[in-house]
Chains A and B, each alone.
Chain A
Amino acid sequence: SQQGEEDPQALSIQEGENATMNCSYKTSINNLQWYRQNSGRGLVHLILIRSNEREKHSGRLRVTLDTSKKSSSLLITASRAADTASYFCATDARRGNKLVFGAGTILRVKS
Protein backbone atom coordinates (compact mmCIF):
# COMPACT_ATOMS: atom_id res chain seq x y z
CA SER A 1 0.00 0.00 0.00
CA GLN A 2 1.12 3.52 -0.60
CA GLN A 3 2.89 5.29 2.19
CA GLY A 4 2.08 8.84 1.36
CA GLU A 5 -0.48 11.25 0.20
CA GLU A 6 0.37 14.11 -2.10
CA ASP A 7 -1.43 17.31 -2.74
CA PRO A 8 -2.53 18.79 -4.87
CA GLN A 9 -3.42 15.92 -7.19
CA ALA A 10 -3.09 18.30 -10.11
CA LEU A 11 -1.61 21.77 -10.50
CA SER A 12 -1.76 24.11 -13.47
CA ILE A 13 0.38 27.26 -13.51
CA GLN A 14 1.83 29.79 -15.93
CA GLU A 15 5.44 29.66 -17.01
CA GLY A 16 7.59 31.66 -14.62
CA GLU A 17 5.43 30.98 -11.58
CA ASN A 18 6.48 28.81 -8.68
CA ALA A 19 4.96 25.37 -8.08
CA THR A 20 4.65 23.80 -4.65
CA MET A 21 3.76 20.17 -4.07
CA ASN A 22 3.27 18.52 -0.71
CA CYS A 23 3.75 14.98 0.51
CA SER A 24 2.72 13.35 3.78
CA TYR A 25 3.73 9.93 5.02
CA LYS A 26 2.85 7.63 7.87
CA THR A 27 5.86 5.82 9.32
CA SER A 28 9.40 6.67 10.39
CA ILE A 29 11.78 7.06 7.48
CA ASN A 30 15.47 7.01 6.63
CA ASN A 31 15.03 9.46 3.80
CA LEU A 32 12.52 10.91 1.39
CA GLN A 33 13.05 11.26 -2.33
CA TRP A 34 11.33 13.16 -5.10
CA TYR A 35 11.00 11.85 -8.65
CA ARG A 36 9.67 13.20 -11.93
CA GLN A 37 7.89 11.16 -14.59
CA ASN A 38 7.25 12.44 -18.08
CA SER A 39 4.29 10.98 -19.98
CA GLY A 40 4.28 7.54 -18.36
CA ARG A 41 7.96 6.95 -18.98
CA GLY A 42 10.66 6.03 -16.49
CA LEU A 43 11.19 8.04 -13.36
CA VAL A 44 13.99 10.56 -12.96
CA HIS A 45 15.47 11.12 -9.53
CA LEU A 46 15.34 14.77 -8.46
CA ILE A 47 16.52 15.01 -4.89
CA LEU A 48 17.03 12.96 -1.72
CA ILE A 49 16.65 14.44 1.74
CA ARG A 50 17.67 12.49 4.80
CA SER A 51 15.64 12.30 7.98
CA ASN A 52 18.12 14.52 9.84
CA GLU A 53 17.97 17.26 7.20
CA ARG A 54 15.36 20.00 7.10
CA GLU A 55 15.96 21.62 3.73
CA LYS A 56 17.83 20.88 0.55
CA HIS A 57 18.35 22.73 -2.73
CA SER A 58 19.22 21.62 -6.22
CA GLY A 59 19.08 24.23 -8.96
CA ARG A 60 15.48 25.48 -9.14
CA LEU A 61 14.31 22.83 -6.70
CA ARG A 62 13.88 23.28 -2.97
CA VAL A 63 12.77 20.45 -0.73
CA THR A 64 11.81 20.69 2.92
CA LEU A 65 11.23 17.90 5.38
CA ASP A 66 9.35 18.09 8.68
CA THR A 67 9.66 14.75 10.44
CA SER A 68 7.49 15.89 13.34
CA LYS A 69 4.61 16.42 10.92
CA LYS A 70 5.68 13.57 8.63
CA SER A 71 5.53 15.85 5.64
CA SER A 72 7.68 17.22 2.84
CA SER A 73 7.29 19.84 0.17
CA LEU A 74 8.86 20.31 -3.24
CA LEU A 75 9.12 23.85 -4.61
CA ILE A 76 9.99 24.45 -8.25
CA THR A 77 10.86 28.08 -8.85
CA ALA A 78 10.54 29.97 -12.12
CA SER A 79 8.74 27.06 -13.76
CA ARG A 80 9.18 26.19 -17.43
CA ALA A 81 6.96 24.34 -19.87
CA ALA A 82 9.49 21.49 -19.74
CA ASP A 83 8.66 21.02 -16.04
CA THR A 84 5.27 19.62 -17.09
CA ALA A 85 5.26 16.10 -15.62
CA SER A 86 4.05 13.97 -12.74
CA TYR A 87 5.97 14.35 -9.49
CA PHE A 88 6.16 11.63 -6.87
CA CYS A 89 7.55 11.51 -3.39
CA ALA A 90 8.93 8.21 -2.15
CA THR A 91 9.96 7.16 1.32
CA ASP A 92 12.68 4.75 2.27
CA ALA A 93 11.17 3.23 5.38
CA ARG A 94 13.45 2.06 8.13
CA ARG A 95 12.33 -1.52 7.62
CA GLY A 96 14.32 -1.81 4.44
CA ASN A 97 15.46 -0.26 1.21
CA LYS A 98 12.10 -0.50 -0.49
CA LEU A 99 10.76 2.78 -1.81
CA VAL A 100 7.09 3.43 -1.17
CA PHE A 101 5.59 6.00 -3.49
CA GLY A 102 2.97 8.65 -2.91
CA ALA A 103 0.02 9.17 -5.22
CA GLY A 104 1.77 11.90 -7.20
CA THR A 105 1.00 15.42 -8.39
CA ILE A 106 0.39 16.17 -12.05
CA LEU A 107 1.98 19.52 -12.88
CA ARG A 108 1.13 21.42 -16.01
CA VAL A 109 3.10 24.54 -16.88
CA LYS A 110 1.46 26.66 -19.54
CA SER A 111 3.58 28.77 -21.83
Chain B
Amino acid sequence: SAVISQKPSRDICQRGTSLTIQCQVDSQVTMMFWYRQQPGQSLTLIATANQGSEATYESGFVIDKFPISRPNLTFSTLTVSNMSPEDSSIYLCSVSDGPGTEAFFGQGTRLTVV
Protein backbone atom coordinates (compact mmCIF):
# COMPACT_ATOMS: atom_id res chain seq x y z
CA SER B 1 0.00 0.00 0.00
CA ALA B 2 1.10 3.55 -0.70
CA VAL B 3 1.93 5.97 2.09
CA ILE B 4 0.90 9.54 1.33
CA SER B 5 2.20 12.63 3.05
CA GLN B 6 0.01 15.68 2.58
CA LYS B 7 1.03 19.15 3.74
CA PRO B 8 -0.11 21.31 5.37
CA SER B 9 -2.57 19.38 7.51
CA ARG B 10 -4.53 22.54 8.19
CA ASP B 11 -4.37 26.26 7.55
CA ILE B 12 -6.33 29.42 8.14
CA CYS B 13 -6.00 31.86 5.26
CA GLN B 14 -7.13 35.37 4.43
CA ARG B 15 -9.56 35.80 1.57
CA GLY B 16 -7.92 36.76 -1.71
CA THR B 17 -4.73 34.82 -0.97
CA SER B 18 -3.61 31.45 -2.37
CA LEU B 19 -2.54 28.21 -0.71
CA THR B 20 -0.50 25.40 -2.23
CA ILE B 21 -1.04 21.89 -0.89
CA GLN B 22 1.59 19.23 -1.42
CA CYS B 23 1.11 15.49 -1.85
CA GLN B 24 4.14 13.18 -1.64
CA VAL B 25 3.85 9.44 -2.17
CA ASP B 26 6.44 6.92 -1.01
CA SER B 27 6.33 4.98 -4.30
CA GLN B 28 5.60 5.62 -7.95
CA VAL B 29 1.89 5.54 -8.70
CA THR B 30 -0.07 5.62 -11.91
CA MET B 31 -2.94 7.86 -10.94
CA MET B 32 -3.15 10.87 -8.65
CA PHE B 33 -6.34 12.73 -7.87
CA TRP B 34 -7.44 15.75 -5.88
CA TYR B 35 -10.77 15.83 -4.04
CA ARG B 36 -12.66 18.46 -2.11
CA GLN B 37 -14.88 17.69 0.85
CA GLN B 38 -17.06 20.59 1.93
CA PRO B 39 -18.26 20.67 5.55
CA GLY B 40 -20.61 17.77 6.27
CA GLN B 41 -20.51 16.61 2.66
CA SER B 42 -19.08 13.78 0.64
CA LEU B 43 -16.01 13.91 -1.59
CA THR B 44 -16.10 15.63 -4.96
CA LEU B 45 -13.37 15.04 -7.51
CA ILE B 46 -11.60 18.24 -8.56
CA ALA B 47 -9.18 16.83 -11.12
CA THR B 48 -6.86 14.06 -12.19
CA ALA B 49 -3.22 15.11 -11.95
CA ASN B 50 -1.34 14.01 -15.07
CA GLN B 51 2.40 13.62 -15.03
CA GLY B 52 4.12 16.19 -17.20
CA SER B 53 0.93 17.61 -18.68
CA GLU B 54 -2.10 19.64 -17.73
CA ALA B 55 -4.50 18.16 -15.22
CA THR B 56 -7.92 16.90 -16.30
CA TYR B 57 -10.59 18.90 -14.51
CA GLU B 58 -14.10 17.85 -13.60
CA SER B 59 -17.12 19.91 -14.43
CA GLY B 60 -17.30 22.99 -12.23
CA PHE B 61 -13.56 23.20 -11.58
CA VAL B 62 -11.13 25.28 -13.63
CA ILE B 63 -7.38 25.54 -13.89
CA ASP B 64 -7.25 29.23 -13.00
CA LYS B 65 -8.87 28.54 -9.64
CA PHE B 66 -7.21 25.19 -8.89
CA PRO B 67 -3.89 24.95 -10.71
CA ILE B 68 -2.31 21.51 -10.33
CA SER B 69 1.20 20.29 -10.99
CA ARG B 70 2.55 16.77 -11.20
CA PRO B 71 6.24 16.86 -12.15
CA ASN B 72 6.85 13.15 -11.50
CA LEU B 73 5.15 9.91 -10.45
CA THR B 74 5.42 10.57 -6.70
CA PHE B 75 4.55 14.24 -6.21
CA SER B 76 1.73 16.66 -6.94
CA THR B 77 0.55 20.05 -5.77
CA LEU B 78 -2.86 21.69 -5.72
CA THR B 79 -3.17 25.45 -5.39
CA VAL B 80 -6.38 27.07 -4.23
CA SER B 81 -6.23 30.54 -5.74
CA ASN B 82 -7.87 33.83 -4.78
CA MET B 83 -9.62 32.16 -1.89
CA SER B 84 -13.04 33.02 -0.53
CA PRO B 85 -14.87 31.62 2.51
CA GLU B 86 -16.69 29.23 0.15
CA ASP B 87 -13.35 27.47 -0.41
CA SER B 88 -13.27 26.37 3.22
CA SER B 89 -13.12 22.58 2.91
CA ILE B 90 -10.96 19.55 3.37
CA TYR B 91 -8.77 18.90 0.34
CA LEU B 92 -7.60 15.32 -0.17
CA CYS B 93 -4.94 13.78 -2.35
CA SER B 94 -5.58 10.24 -3.58
CA VAL B 95 -3.51 7.73 -5.53
CA SER B 96 -4.12 4.42 -7.24
CA ASP B 97 -2.43 2.06 -9.64
CA GLY B 98 -5.18 2.21 -12.22
CA PRO B 99 -8.65 0.88 -12.95
CA GLY B 100 -9.95 -1.76 -10.60
CA THR B 101 -7.48 -1.04 -7.82
CA GLU B 102 -8.02 0.45 -4.41
CA ALA B 103 -7.30 4.10 -3.81
CA PHE B 104 -5.18 5.47 -0.99
CA PHE B 105 -5.76 8.85 0.58
CA GLY B 106 -3.66 11.43 2.32
CA GLN B 107 -4.81 12.72 5.69
CA GLY B 108 -6.27 15.79 4.08
CA THR B 109 -5.73 19.53 4.40
CA ARG B 110 -8.37 21.34 6.41
CA LEU B 111 -8.61 24.84 4.95
CA THR B 112 -10.46 27.69 6.59
CA VAL B 113 -10.76 30.97 4.72
CA VAL B 114 -11.57 34.05 6.79
CB of B66 within 8 Å of the partner chain: no
Chain A residues near B113: list those with CB within 8 A.
Answer: none
- Report how many residues on chain B are interfacial, defined by Cβ distance under 8 Å: 28
**Given known contacts A43-B92, A88-B43, A103-B42, is B98 in contact with A97 (CB within 8 Å)?**
yes
State A40–B36 Cα separation when bound (angstroms). 12
Contact assessment for A97 and B105 in the assembled complex, using a CB-CB cutoff below 8 Å = no
Q: Mark B34-72, 1 if CB is under 8 A from A, else 0.
A: 000100011111001000000000100000000000000
A-side interface residues toward B, CB under 8 Å? 2, 30-31, 33, 35, 40-45, 48, 50, 88, 90, 92, 96-104
B-side interface residues toward A, CB under 8 Å? 4, 6, 31, 33, 37, 41-45, 48, 58, 90, 92, 94, 96, 98-108, 110
